Amino acid sequence: MIRAIFLDRDGVINKTVGKNHLPPKTYKDVVLTNGIKELLSYLKSEGYLIFCVTNQPDVSRGTQTIKNVKKINDYLWAILPITDFAVCYHSDQDNCICRKPKDGLIRNLSKQYDIDLSQSYVVGDRWRDIEAGQNAGCKTVFINYKYNEKQPNNPDFVVGKVKDIINIFQKGKKCL
């Protein structure tokens, strides 16, 4: 049984930019969220595969390039224990199966790596992340930054910041 953690990128792995919570434009703009290095190191030591699943619709909209998105992901890959990245470059209008809240990114990775989704988690800071995790049959962890937008329905866990996520896994381990 292979377990995995599927993390959103912007807002979970790295901080968003500005009051509109936008993704960084280049890898030079990337600032890791507080506690992400420790969280990923712990999860890796517990045997989880770690994936980044991210919507990057600015590529479809023409305000970002695939090259810059890949450079950001390569930078994160170099400094964090991430197994793989899955990226959707589409906008809602493209109606693709990979754009969260659909679960295409997660399901494709689960097939590729033989992951047991019922023993896996999706971590996100937006309703789309949580709904994608629920659609895939994963447990969900919502980081509630109190954005002024639609909120997710019934995530399994809610935290206020990334560094609090480790407590979910440490407490769960003590209960076993």
Question: What are the CA-CA distances from residue 79 to residues 71, 76, 109, 139 (Å)?
Answer: 13, 5, 21, 26
Task: Tell whether the model's pLDDT for residue 176 goes beyond 60.
Answer: no
Share of the chain above pLDDT 90, in %: 89
* Active site (catalytic) residues: 8, 10
Q: List, in order of start, the domains of the chain with CATH numbers.
A: 4-175 (3.40.50.1000)
Three-state SS sequence of 22-88: ECCCCHHHCCECCCHHHHHHHHHHCCCEEEEEEECCHHHHCCCCHHHHHHHHHHHHHHCCCCEEEEE
pLDDT in tens, 45-91: 999 999 999 999 999 999 999 999 999 999 999 999 999 999 999 99
Q: Is 96 helix (H, G, I), strand (E, B) or coil?
A: coil
pLDDT confidence of residue 20 = 81
Note if the pTM is more than 0.85: yes
What is the C-alpha separation between 12 and 3, in angstroms, rounded?
19
- The pLDDT tens digits of the residues spanning 94-127 come to 999 999 999 999 999 999 999 999 999 999 999 9
